[in-house]
Amino acid sequence: MRALLARHDVRLLLLARLTDVAGSNALWIALGIHVKELTGSNSAAGLTFFAFILGTLGAPLGGVLVDRLRRRPLLIVLNLVSAVLVLPLLLVHDRHSVWICYVVMTLYGLANGATGSAMTALTQTLIPPKHLGDVNGLLQTLLQGLRLIAPLLGAGVLSAFGLGPLVVGDAATFALAALLIALIRQQEDRPQPAQQEETGLQSTAGFRFIARAPTLRQVTVAVVLAIVAFGFSESVLFAVVDTGLHRPPAFLGVLSSLQGAGAIGAGVAAAVLMRRAGEELTVVLGLAFAAAGFLLSAIPSLLAVAPGTVFIGASLPLIIAGTMTLFQRRTPASLMGRTDAALNVLIGVPQTAAIAAGAALIALVDYRIMLAVMAVLMASSALYLATRTIRRPTESLTARLAQEPGEAAPEASPPHRG
């Protein structure tokens, strides 16, 4: 890892990603709070996040763009466009101008989907396959730390100075990310389209690739099951604090800190786990942690809820880093953008539906029953993926990277220069 971080391009890539996420996370939560203050409506505030998710559904179109153009110049343009895109939020001053938030957030979601796919594809190009797990594990550690700090910073700035400084700050972070990416020295070739690609069906190529590749398909099924449970947790955790622990809503901040601590620790361990056990078993371990965490959270005692919250936090980096690394290693460069976009859609749609369903169910169903159902979903997901992973012959790391039916061998990726 130390040798990897000694590379100029790798440091710039990580800094660009962290800069982008820091500005966005600080603005998103503050924007929802601002809309709530202007309208007095929880629904109006929630629509800001819905508008963003609606925009991300256009990710397959962005994936086509990512797989046709050089990723580094594309990322520079996307970040500069995003910097300009957020500036109309400076015009939001009353309830009659809230519509601007929805338009901006929809376009923001569309740009964010393309940016994420381009960043995933550029990472695949810059980082040798054997080091992808190290980089993704480190990235998850840093991102989880940012996600603890940035929302609190955003809410604090909004309270003290209003929305304006956050909008300008987010635009500045996009510009800085564009500059950092422009300073990357490694040259990349234009992605070559796959010969078997059917004309007119480029936007669905990522979905078809996942469906044909057994390992990617099985991990996707497991993660989709898990994301439904995580979607329910958005509402259930409030009931854990209120009904279970009999604490004020502000106590959720304490649990969020515990969750963040678990996430940071797991992010540090993710790279080691992937090297020793492989990406799939790393995802399985993350799913098992979440199942245990949800079960412990159903016990109305802080002695159980606290470690359960740590387990839930630890599960996310293991699932995300394992899945991301597996997809980067098993996907040819010509399909990386569209495959990443397809995965985001396959995760985003059920997640959105689960959040809405959880908000409705928590008023009708005891939170402990919901937590039990969530734990069963997680355990089923872990068992599903574990049984399919164990069925495969025991293989070395090199063999795990070899081609499976419908999957690309590591040689399908472009050469790693420098």
Q: Could you read off the pLDDT of 328-359 as tens digits, one per residue?
A: 999 998 889 999 999 988 988 888 888 778 87
> From the CB of residue 55, how many other CB atoms can be counted at a distance below 10 Å?
20
Nearest to 413 by CA among 131, 215, 222, 27: 131
Which residues are CB-neighbours of 33 under 8 A, at least 6 positions away?
45, 155, 158
User: What's the token pair of residue 240?
Assistant: 């854990």
Report the pLDDT value the prediction gives residue 193, as an integer from 0 to 100.
58
Distance CA 260, CA 162 (A): 27
Residue type at 249? P
For residue 138, give the H/E element and its range.
helix 132-161
User: What's the token pair of residue 135?
Assistant: 């980089």
What's the pLDDT tens digit per position in 238-256? 788 888 888 876 677 678 7
What's the pLDDT tens digit per position in 162-220? 889 999 999 999 999 999 999 998 777 666 655 555 544 677 888 999 999 999 999 99
Report the pLDDT value the prediction gives residue 405, as an integer from 0 to 100.
41
Nearest to 213 by CA among 406, 409, 399, 410: 406
330: exposed, middle or buried (Cβ count in 10 Å: 0-12, 13-18, 19+): buried
Residue type at 103? V
Distance CA 66, CA 121 (A): 8
Instruction: Report the share of the chain in percent with pLDDT over 90.
Output: 38
Report the pLDDT value the prediction gives residue 185, as an integer from 0 to 100.
83
Report the pLDDT value the prediction gives residue 34, as an integer from 0 to 100.
86
Distance CA 2, CA 274 (A): 17
pTM to 2 decimal places: 0.80
pLDDT under 50: residue ranges of the chain: 199-200, 394-418
Distances (CA, A) of 350 to 3, 346, 410: 40, 7, 31
Report the pLDDT value the prediction gives residue 201, as an integer from 0 to 100.
65
